Each structure stands twice: as C-alpha cells, then as structure tokens.
Amino acid sequence: MKRLIFGLLMILMAGLSGCGGSSVTVNPPSITSYQFTKDAVREYIDGSVNYYAPDSDIDTMTVVTYDSRGIERSRTQTLINHPGTAQGTIPFSIDYLTFPSDAYAYTFSVYLTDFNGYTSNQAVDSFYIP
C-alpha cells in the first residue's frame, strides 16, 4: 500500500512539474531610423526618430547632449503618450544657442521608453559648433 501511494505521488509530482512556468517574452521599443539637420542661423538641431513598439505604447522620449569632455549639457524628456500606436515618427529638437563653441564635436543620444519602463536602443550622432 505504501508503495502504491508513493508511486502515485511520484506520478502526480512528475505531471505537475510540467505545468506552469510559461515565460513572457518582452519586446522593448526600438528606434529603426533617425535623421536630423542643423540650423546654424537659429542654432538648433531639428530631427526625428522612426520607431517600432510591438508590445506596448511609447511613453517618453529622452534627448541628451554631451560636450567633448562627456559633460551633460542638456537633457530633455518629452511625454509622448502614443497609445495603441505600434510604429511611427516622433520629432525632436536641440537648442544649442547657449552651448559654448568647441573645436570638438557635441554628441547627442535619443531613446524611447514605453509604458512598462523598457527603453529602446539609442540613436547617437554628433554635431559641431564653430
């Protein structure tokens, strides 16, 4: 009798060990392309990023600018709030009027964050201020 109960328990445990444990695949948003132009007269960068967000909606876009020494010169976080939009284009701009002239390039990065807190890849580029 003990062997029968032990055997049934082993079968039950083996059957239960295969249950559950389903994994959830997370697909963070991604920047698929970007472009920008520099307006030297008004001293700003005008650009846009194209994105794909298969799992959730885009919540914010962050644009960070660094000088040649790696010092952060500006950070802009923009509330996007694109509910139900899996892909699209988001404009951005950088006002560098107050940045000091530098013989070396300034670097900027743009990334997106979805409503779940996942961040996209970064679009990184540089520009010069004469």
Higher pLDDT, 47 or 11: 47
- Considering the four listed CATH numbers 3.90.800.10, 3.30.572.10, 2.60.40.10, 3.40.50.261, the one that applies to the domain covering 30-129 is 2.60.40.10
pTM more than 0.95: no
Q: b/e for 11-21, b at 16 or more Cβ within 10 A?
A: eeeeeeeeeee
State residue 120's pLDDT score: 95
What is each CA distance from 123 to 32, 62, 73, 116, in whole angstroms?
Answer: 9, 11, 17, 20
Q: In a 3-state reduction of DSSP, which class is residue 118?
A: coil
Sheet of 30-39, strand order = 30-39, 44-52, 87-95
State residue 66's pLDDT score: 96
Q: Are the C-beta atoms of 26 and 117 separated by less than 8 Å?
A: no
State residue 45's pLDDT score: 94
- For 1-36, how does the pLDDT look when each residue is reduced to its tens digit (9 = 90+)? 555 455 545 555 555 455 555 666 778 999 999 999
Please say if the pLDDT value at position 52 is more than 80. yes
- For 83-98, how does the pLDDT look when each residue is reduced to its tens digit (9 = 90+)? 778 899 999 999 998 8
